[in-house]
């Protein structure tokens, strides 16, 4: 018989969390392929197991299509996670879903490098390309 994990059920509603809106603005060069890089050097969230803060560097590299991300709203979006208990993998996956929904980029890569927890650094990378 499999032993029940103490983590079970902690992240079941991660996709339903209501986050601040990520605003956009119209890209004046949708016919060009170029990359925008957003660095968030002081990202924080909460470990859902211990309740302690997790710190990370988040890097988003995207090629815009019709819209670009408005930075102030994106900053407010990232600050929102400060008080949310969420696993590293889930925050990057949720961030990708919200980012793609907001601006529908040609492509995007999100890399989260989380500071060591228990002596282990966690890096989570997710990529998306419009088909």
Rounded to whole angstroms, the Cα distance separating 80 from 103 reads 19
**pTM score, two decimals?**
0.91
8: its two tokens? 């079970």
- Does the pLDDT value for residue 31 go beyond 90? yes
Domains of the chain in sequence order = 22-129 (3.30.1130.10)
CA atoms within 13 A on the CB side of 59: 9
Point out the residues that are catalytic: 47, 54
- Provide the pLDDT for residue 7: 57
In this structure, what DSSP letter does residue 92 have? H
Rounded to whole angstroms, the Cα distance separating 105 from 30 reads 10
Q: Give the CA angle between residues 7, 11, 17 to the nearest 5°.
A: 160
Give tens-digit pLDDT for 41-57.
999 999 998 889 999 99
Give tens-digit pLDDT for 55-113.
999 999 999 999 999 999 999 999 999 999 999 999 999 999 999 999 999 999 999 99
């Amino acid at each position: 018989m499999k032993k029940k994990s103490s983590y079970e059920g902690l992240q079941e509603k991660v996709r339903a969390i209501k986050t601040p809106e990520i605003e956009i603005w119209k890209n004046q060069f949708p016919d060009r392929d170029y990359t925008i890089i957003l660095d968030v050097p002081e990202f924080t969230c909460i470990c859902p197991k211990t309740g302690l803060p997790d710190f990370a560097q988040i890097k988003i590299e995207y090629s815009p299509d019709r819209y670009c991300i408005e930075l102030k709203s994106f900053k407010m979006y990232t600050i929102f996670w400060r008080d949310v208990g969420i696993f590293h993998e889930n925050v990057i996956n949720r961030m990708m879903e919200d980012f793609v929904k907001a601006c529908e980029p040609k492509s995007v890569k999100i890399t989260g490098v989380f500071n060591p927890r228990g002596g282990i650094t966690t890096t989570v990378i997710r990529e998306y390309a419009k088909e």
